[in-house]
Amino acid sequence: MKKETFYTAINCMDGRVQMPVMNYLTARFGADFVDSITEAGPVLYLAEKTDSVQTKSILRRTDISIKNHKSKGIAVVAHYDCAGNPADEEKQSNQLISAVNFLAERYPGVDITGLWVDSNWGVTEICSTSKSG
């Protein structure tokens, strides 16, 4: 029996970005399954590195994915037209970098990738802690 591989997506709750991100992660990282952790504008909370209810919830669910599903990595996602984080692309890109760095501190040795989903629902890697490319 083939070992199932998981990847973790910390994504916005916006339904428009779910499938593009899942498709990207399965193709790019060869994941069989994507654990979806959704929050309205999650990069905002992770970039602020606060002890907020939202941040604690995101981290608790990420812990489960990493520990129980042995997830291969984590993608954190920002996107165009985000209602939960209505900042422009430049600001969200900066938040994304901060969020990736915050997650890298919490999950040393786990590859963390920051993704941007554009107005055409295309996915682009903004940053990554991966050493393997």
Please report, for the chain, the start and end positions of each structural domain, with discontinuous segments joined by +: 6-128
What's the predicted TM-score (pTM) here? 0.94
Rounded alpha-carbon distances, angstroms, from residue 47 to 68, 114, 119: 25, 12, 22
Per-residue pLDDT at 126: 96
User: Which pLDDT value is given to residue 99?
Assistant: 97
Q: 6-128 adopts what CATH topology?
A: Beta-carbonic Anhydrase; Chain A (3.40.1050)
Name the burial class of residue 82, with classes exposed (0-12), middle (13-18) and buried (19+) by CB atoms within 10 angstroms of its CB: buried
- Quick one: how far is CA 39 from the chain centroid? 11
- Answer whether 75's CB lies under 8 Å from 46's CB: no
Tens of pLDDT, residue by residue, the chain (133 residues): 667 899 999 999 999 999 999 999 999 999 999 999 999 999 999 999 888 999 999 999 999 999 999 999 999 999 999 999 999 999 999 999 999 999 999 999 999 999 999 999 999 999 999 765 5
